[in-house]
């Protein structure tokens, strides 16, 4: 009798584990071949590793930047500007910069409107009368940019021809268009004017007071234009002419130097605004020189002679 085939326990265990066919299987049992990782699995592993390295690199870079920012000291906040700082800056500027005087600024403001006025007459030596000679020299100020000029009547009265010279050197003849005998004023109209003629700014005398600074601008003895500075000495003064023929009330008294030739010129504030027309100087000894007292007609009266409305 044929004995049945026997299987060892090791064989059986291997067979059972590997999922063999059973006792009737005549083929020897064998373990399945190990599985090899696919190509896509290897690529995924490499990509995951690369991402991890990249992430740690970014983290490291951020940590380095944070460390550097903490190592650099912060700039202190700017200190707010105070009034003391401003005052110090202004004081420093005043100490290191030469500024024009108040009188210089006043002169610069009024000079474009100041004119030289000359009254011409027939020379006694010239019998044929073909040549005019200077009879008088004075000053005028443009109050309307169309060539309207204020001056003193005694500068142009009796003149055969009146000539005016503007600040830019232009010369023109002029005609008398109005007079104010009681204030010794005359209004002239120039026949030719500069293209850029500037009229003076007129200012009310209502708030003037003794001690206020003033500048007189004109052509003393024909020299000029010249400027002299001083103060208002008094208000509502009365002047009587040396001959006693005329008395002018309500005048501004000032001590800025004025001489023959200043007549008709402007008396101005430190802003260069006209407050009066220089009309006379006090001559107790009949000397035609300045002794410290000059008089000007308030601009309200002077402007009225030219038909300019009062302030």
Q: Mind telling me the catalytic residues?
A: 154, 184, 263
Cβ atoms of 252 and 296 within 8 Å: the answer is yes
- The one-digit pLDDT tens for each residue of the chain (311 residues) are 444 444 444 444 444 444 444 444 444 444 444 455 555 556 666 666 667 777 777 777 777 777 766 655 556 667 788 999 888 888 888 788 887 899 999 999 999 999 999 999 876 665 555 567 778 999 999 999 999 999 999 999 999 999 999 999 999 999 999 999 999 999 999 999 999 999 999 999 999 999 999 999 999 999 989 999 999 999 999 998 766 677 899 999 999 999 999 999 999 999 999 999 999 998 877 777 788 899 999 999 888 887 776 65
Report whether the peptide linkage leading into residue 144 is cis, meaning its omega lies within 30 degrees of zero: no
Q: Find all residues with CB under 8 Å of 19, minimum gap 6, and list them.
A: none
pTM of the model: 0.68
Question: Hey, what are 26's tokens?
Answer: 């005549």
**What's the number of CA atoms in the CB half-sphere (13 Å) around residue 35?**
4
Helices (H), 34-172: 39-71, 83-96, 102-110, 153-156
DSSP string, 189-227: EESS--TT--PPPB---TT--TT-EEEEEE-GGG--SEE
**CATH second-level architecture of 108-305?**
Beta Barrel (2.40)
Residue 239: which of 213, 278, 288, 287 has the closest Cα?
278
Backbone angles phi, psi at 61, to 5 degrees: -65, -45
Closest CA to 231 of 250, 251, 247, 209: 209
Q: Quote the tokens at residue 43.
A: 């690529």
Nearest to 203 by CA among 306, 108, 298: 298
- Report how far residue 112's alpha carbon sits from residue 141's, in angstroms, rounded to the nearest whole number: 9
């Amino acid at each position: 009798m044929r004995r049945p085939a026997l299987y060892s326990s090791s064989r059986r265990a291997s067979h059972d584990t590997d999922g063999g066919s059973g006792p009737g299987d005549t083929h020897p049992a064998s373990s399945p071949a190990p599985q090899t990782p696919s190509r896509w699995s290897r690529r995924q592993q490499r990509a995951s590793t690369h991402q991890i390295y990249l992430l740690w690199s970014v983290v490291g870079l951020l940590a380095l930047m944070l460390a550097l920012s903490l190592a650099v000291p912060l700039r202190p906040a700017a200190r707010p500007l105070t009034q003391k700082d401003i005052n110090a800056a202004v004081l420093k500027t005043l100490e290191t910069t030469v500024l024009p005087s108040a009188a210089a600024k006043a002169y610069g403001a009024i000079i474009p409107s100041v004119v030289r006025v000359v009254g011409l007459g027939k020379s006694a030596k010239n019998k044929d009368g073909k040549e005019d000679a200077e009879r008088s020299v004075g000053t005028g100020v443009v109050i309307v940019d169309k060539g309207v000029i204020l001056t003193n009547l005694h500068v142009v009265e009796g003149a055969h021809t009146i000539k005016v010279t503007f600040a830019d050197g232009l010369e023109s003849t002029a005609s008398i268009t109005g007079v104010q005998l009681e204030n010794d004023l005359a209004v002239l109209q120039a026949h030719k004017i500069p293209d850029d003629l500037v009229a003076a700014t007129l200012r009310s005398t209502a708030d003037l007071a003794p001690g206020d600074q003033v500048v007189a601008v004109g052509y003393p003895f024909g020299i000029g234009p010249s400027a002299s500075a001083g103060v208002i000495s008094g208000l509502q003064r009365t002047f009587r002419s040396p001959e006693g023929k005329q008395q002018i009330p309500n005048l501004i008294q000032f001590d800025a130097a004025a001489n023959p030739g200043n007549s008709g010129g402007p008396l101005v504030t430190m802003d260069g605004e006209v407050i009066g027309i220089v009309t006379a100087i006090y001559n107790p000894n009949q000397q035609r020189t300045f002794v410290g007292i000059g008089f000007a007609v308030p601009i309200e009266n002077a402007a009225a002679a030219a038909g300019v409305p009062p302030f």
